[in-house]
Amino acid sequence: MSMHTLRNTLFAAAAAFGFVGLGAAIHAGPSIAHASPMAGIPTDGTIADVAEHTVDSVVNISTMHQGKAQVMFDPFSNDDETVQPRPEMAKGSGVIVTASGRILTNAHVVDNADTIKVTLQDGTELEAKVVGKDVHADLAVLQLKGKFPTLKPITFGDSSAMRLGDIVLAVGDGLGVGKSVSMGIISAKGLTHVGIEDYEDFIQTDAAINPGNSGGALVNLKGELVGINTAIASRSGGSQGIGFAIPSNMAKPIMDELVKNGKVSRGYLGVTIGTVTPGLLKEHKLGAQEGVFVGAIDPRGPAARTGLSEGDVIVALAGKPMKNDSELRSAIAAAKPGTVVELDVVHQDGQHATIKAKLGELPDKSREQEMEEQQQQQQQPSIRRWEWHSP
């Protein structure tokens, strides 16, 4: 089984639904969803207070991208015609994080944007620029331009303190009908094999979120930001009660680094990996029962300059056991470029080895990722981001 096949196998279950990015909407009109009553909800105005308090900290984001002009050949004329493409309009949401005009949103909301406009709660419309963008975690920081009224930045909460069943509110511009608030619970935490981003640690919620909610706020009942709404699993493209948010404890340090450096520097080993499974163990005759399987090595990456080989199983990093590929990927990414890491490896012949590797810097998109994405597009066309195109 090749690593591309392995990657696609991991996506197979997700393809039954289709993971939908929320920075944009479908062409069809919005469908109306009705939430069922939930037992145990406070009735003393707590939820209303939180909703009213939070909505001022969430903004609507509109972007425009002007494609390249195309020259059309006219067989009945000696002159070719230059055709200007129709501008692509997109909408999403964002969260005010500082009184000085910083906005946190998803990277896919502002991808390829030529112009970005932010609408505040009072209707004020302002232009914004990208301060920094991290496509691997799908986060971006914007800065409002010009003069603006007094802003109400949101307070960051501790996403690790959230428990299954905790009530949360999702705030954003769902389906482009305007800012709204929906309510649900924390359905799951620490989801890492969803297949949406390169680095995942998602909070799952059943709060109704739809295309256009991308970059909006997921808040607790204290009105604190515990997540950035990012994607939904849906057969129709609309909310089916399976939404995913980037936890605040992951988003904040990335935001801080984007503000400081304009980008996030991550360690790069240069390997394509997968979690050891019984199928892989049997097919490749691996030397270890669990760990992280090395399926391919970038010939120009750091791993190629070590004793690491295809078919090896990485069982520990710096003495810490690595039970799945997500753990290893996140650990490598968290280390800064230039860091020397120590890998405990089991070769296919069962021999153990300790390998040291000096990490490089993760490129914007590695060649392995490009190949994997091409393969996924060919075999899993239902797994994609949706774009919100104006009619």
pLDDT per position as a tens digit, 33-76: 333 334 444 545 588 989 998 999 999 999 988 766 565 555 55
State residue 45's pLDDT score: 58
DSSP state of 313: E
Whether residue 270 sits in one domain with residue 255: no
State residue 89's pLDDT score: 82
Decide if pLDDT at 344 tops 90: yes
Whether residue 204 sits in one domain with residue 353: no
Whether residue 330 sits in one domain with residue 242: no
Decide if pLDDT at 129 tops 90: yes
Among candidate residues 62, 93, 108, 182, the one labeled active-site is 108
91 in a domain, yes or no?
Answer: no
Whether residue 274 sits in one domain with residue 206: no
Over range 118-136, report the average pLDDT.
93
- Residue 358's pLDDT band (boundaries 50, 70, 90)? very high
Whether residue 229 sits in one domain with residue 306: no
State residue 76's pLDDT score: 58
**CA angle, 245 as apex, 191 and 332 as ends, to 5°?**
50
Q: Alpha-carbon distance 328 to 336, whole Å?
A: 14
Counting the structural domains of the chain, the total is: 2
Among candidate residues 57, 111, 134, 138, the one labeled active-site is 138
**14-23, 97-106, 126-135, 290-299: range with lowest mean pLDDT:** 14-23
Residue 77 is among the residues annotated as catalytic for this protein: no
State residue 314's pLDDT score: 95
More confident residue, 198 or 84: 198
Q: How many residues does the chain have?
A: 391
For residue 217, what is the domain's CATH number? 2.40.10.10
Of the candidates 229, 261, 293, which is a domain's last residue? 261
Of the candidates 261, 284, 310, which is a domain's last residue? 261
Decide if pLDDT at 289 tops 50: yes
Average pLDDT taken over every residue of the chain: 79
Among candidate residues 62, 180, 214, 239, the one labeled active-site is 214
For residue 352, what is the domain's CATH number? 2.30.42.10
- Residues ≥6 apart with Cβ < 8 Å to 93: 58, 59, 60, 61, 105, 109, 171, 172, 173, 179, 212, 213, 214, 215, 216, 217, 229
Residue 108 is among the residues annotated as catalytic for this protein: yes
Report the relative pairing of strands 267-268 and 81-83 from DSSP bridges: unpaired
Q: Which helix (H) or strand (E) holds 354?
A: strand 352-358
Range with top average pLDDT, 7-11, 178-182, 334-338 = 334-338
Percent with pLDDT over 70 in the chain? 75
Over range 312-335, report the average pLDDT.
90
Q: Which helix (H) or strand (E) holds 289?
A: none
Over range 354-370, report the average pLDDT.
76
Decide if pLDDT at 145 tops 60: yes
State residue 387's pLDDT score: 30
DSSP state of 301: S
Decide if pLDDT at 6 tops 60: no
Whether residue 286 sits in one domain with residue 231: no
The answer to whether the CB of 92 falls within 8 A of the CB of 128 is no
Residue 214 is among the residues annotated as catalytic for this protein: yes
* Cα–Cα distances in angstroms (integers) from residue 55 to residues 24, 93, 217, in the given order: 20, 11, 9
Over range 242-256, report the average pLDDT.
93
Over range 357-386, report the average pLDDT.
55
More confident residue, 180 or 84: 180
Over range 226-236, report the average pLDDT.
83
318 in a domain, yes or no?
Answer: yes
- Residues ≥6 apart with Cβ < 8 Å to 114: 63, 64, 65, 66
Decide if pLDDT at 385 tops 50: no
Whether residue 335 sits in one domain with residue 271: yes
147 in a domain, yes or no?
Answer: no
Q: Domain range spanning residue 242?
A: 10-27+43-52+155-261
**43-47, 172-176, 342-346: range with lowest mean pLDDT:** 43-47
Whether residue 192 sits in one domain with residue 216: yes
DSSP state of 223: S
Decide if pLDDT at 311 tops 70: yes
State residue 249's pLDDT score: 94
Report the relative pairing of strands 115-119 and 180-191 from DSSP bridges: unpaired
Whether residue 255 sits in one domain with residue 175: yes
74 in a domain, yes or no?
Answer: no
Whether residue 277 sits in one domain with residue 254: no
Whether residue 191 sits in one domain with residue 172: yes
- Residue 9's pLDDT band (boundaries 50, 70, 90)? very low
33 in a domain, yes or no?
Answer: no
Instruction: Please spell the DSSP secondary structure of 117-138, one letter per residue.
Output: EEE-TTS-EEEEEEEEEETTTT
pTM exceeds cut of 0.85: no
State residue 37's pLDDT score: 38
121 in a domain, yes or no?
Answer: no
Decide if pLDDT at 223 tops 80: yes
Residue 59 backbone phi and psi in degrees, to 5: -120, 160
Of the candidates 211, 245, 261, which is a domain's last residue? 261
295 in a domain, yes or no?
Answer: yes
345 in a domain, yes or no?
Answer: yes
The answer to whether the CB of 244 falls within 8 A of the CB of 232 is yes
Whether residue 163 sits in one domain with residue 19: yes
Residue range 77-95, pLDDT digits in tens: 666 566 666 778 888 999 9
- Residue 391's pLDDT band (boundaries 50, 70, 90)? very low
State residue 232's pLDDT score: 80
State residue 22's pLDDT score: 58
